[in-house]
Structure 1
């Protein structure tokens, strides 16, 4: 079986050089154009997917044309490649499952490039949605690769799917505090915060009677891009204003009370006097 029959000459070398040194850079430019064009009309992961498809199809065409210029008989070569592909497909069922799962993820669109997601215990920013896996950059700047099949089977939390987010802040105060006064201070903190949204309005709910505190739940909304700034600034301001107004933030401790009074039982330590053993009366038999 003859796979090639050619005579190497200058004309062949010129055509191959044009295909390689012009065709491949041209494919790179087309890939960038497709990515820009698709991203203007659809989500970024669609743009990434289509640009990769265009590049790989074009690259295969360049390889086929180069082989044709060198005189390869492509019929037997493609037949052998088909048989090899069938064998590889049986040997790589996991990869095939990841590819199929990738199409389901693209069709369902539970997240897109740039979203902050949580998969099992992994929280980070989606960097790319590829044929076999999703790549996530966690917040300590590590890259985590998760197979598409795992993404499809696991619960995925998308923190940035919607334009606004709500923070639930647990606020604990001592039992002696006036809760109406505490609610007024918390409301003022939210009203003065530049990142907190006025609509939907913030809410303050009773949470529980704890061992050492009364627990309230402050729920505040913000734009998704301002969430961390809002959460940090409100917590810092709560500590600052509670200190300024003398509102106690309790910590776990045990206090002994005398019953119907609220002040702690006064306890004083006294020095123990040790008698001189020489002055002790003699023991009697």
Structure 2
């Protein structure tokens, strides 16, 4: 009975739980203090973000111009800059979270506990990161090398944390994931100091074989970018249906490959014309009864 009267009395006087004017004023003052504190922290965080970003950029530029960076392999230097930028910005974000009053320890614990899920979600990025490390350790190619894969061919410009930048011969910038580069066959045309130019020239069956070989070799030896060690050689490669096919093998520096290739094609054609060596065309003999 007593419990019933107490409940009835409380229900009959609901205004007893309404805060008084003084309590409401205190709550407003506390809310204002919290808003002011949050605003101050937000302004400090913005200032730190601006200063931190400028400081990170300044440090990266100093590192790029330092003697240590200039002595490093270009690929390793590019990778180090990219990795340092990521690490520094992560540290800056943690500092900003602390300034804003967020629990960084809880964030790190959550990040650690969700590491497996993050790894599964970003397994492509992790694969690319591991690929970048493999490229720097084993050097299948270096910055400045001309490489070719099943999908791309061009000059390596940068090796970053996750991607490698390749410039194609027609000046297109291609970003290739490091993970795919470590799982495919790569042809590095710049790895050796010499590269061989193979060109096939055709002559008519009536042509003198020795004369054709001499004309081809003289033309190759006259080119200033063709190396004499090993010496160029010209041999009869095949007796085709309509022609005798001669193969020229000449060596040059990797950077001179295309100059030698195109120059020799033009020069041999002119030499054939000057020496009356006929270049055959497909022919069909028709017999009428």
TM-score by length of 2: 0.77
What's the offset of the Cα at 1:15?
5.2
Q: Which residue of 1 aligns with 2:64?
A: 35
Q: Which residue of 2 aligns with 1:26?
A: 55
Q: How do 1:225-244 and structure 2 match up within 5 A?
A: 225-244=255-274
Q: How do 1:230-269 and structure 2 match up within 5 A?
A: 230-255=260-285
What's the offset of the Cα at 1:39?
4.8
What's the offset of the Cα at 1:240?
1.0
In structure 2, list runs of 5 or more residues that go unmatched.
1-33
User: Structure 1 98/229 Cα, relative in aligned 2: closer, same or farther at 3 Å?
Assistant: same
Q: Which residue of 1 aligns with 2:238?
A: 208
2:219 to 177, 181, 189: 189
Matched residues, number: 254
Two-structure CA RMSD over aligned residues (Å) = 2.8
User: Structure 1 219/6 Cα, relative in aligned 2: closer, same or farther at 3 Å?
Assistant: farther
Matched, 1:127 2:157: yes
What is the rounded CA distance, in whole Å, between the counterparts of 1:255 and 1:33 in structure 2? Answer: 76
Contact 2:83 2:161 in 1 (8 A): no
Contact 1:5 1:72 in 2 (8 A): no
What is the rounded CA distance, in whole Å, between the counterparts of 2:171 and 2:260 in structure 1? Answer: 23
Question: Could you say what secondary structure the match of 2:182 adopts?
Answer: helix
User: Structure 1 91/209 Cα, relative in aligned 2: closer, same or farther at 3 Å?
Assistant: same
More helix by share: 2
What is the rounded CA distance, in whole Å, between the counterparts of 2:275 and 2:63 in structure 1? Answer: 60
- Cα deviation digits, residues 239-284 of structure 1 (max 9, x gap): 111111111111222347xxxxxxxx9x9xxxxxxxxxxxxxxxxx
Question: Could you say what secondary structure the match of 1:7 adopts?
Answer: helix
Q: Larger radius of gyration, structure 1 or 2? A: 2
In structure 1, list runs of 5 or more residues that go unmatched.
257-264, 268-285
User: Structure 1 54/131 Cα, relative in aligned 2: closer, same or farther at 3 Å?
Assistant: closer
What is the rounded CA distance, in whole Å, between the counterparts of 1:36 and 1:131 in structure 2? Answer: 20
Q: Which residue of 2 aligns with 1:259?
A: none
What is the rounded CA distance, in whole Å, between the counterparts of 1:138 and 1:220 in structure 2? Answer: 25
Contact 1:97 1:149 in 2 (8 A): yes
What is the rounded CA distance, in whole Å, between the counterparts of 1:124 and 1:164 in structure 2? Answer: 18
TM-score by length of 1: 0.78
Q: Which residue of 2 aligns with 1:96?
A: 126
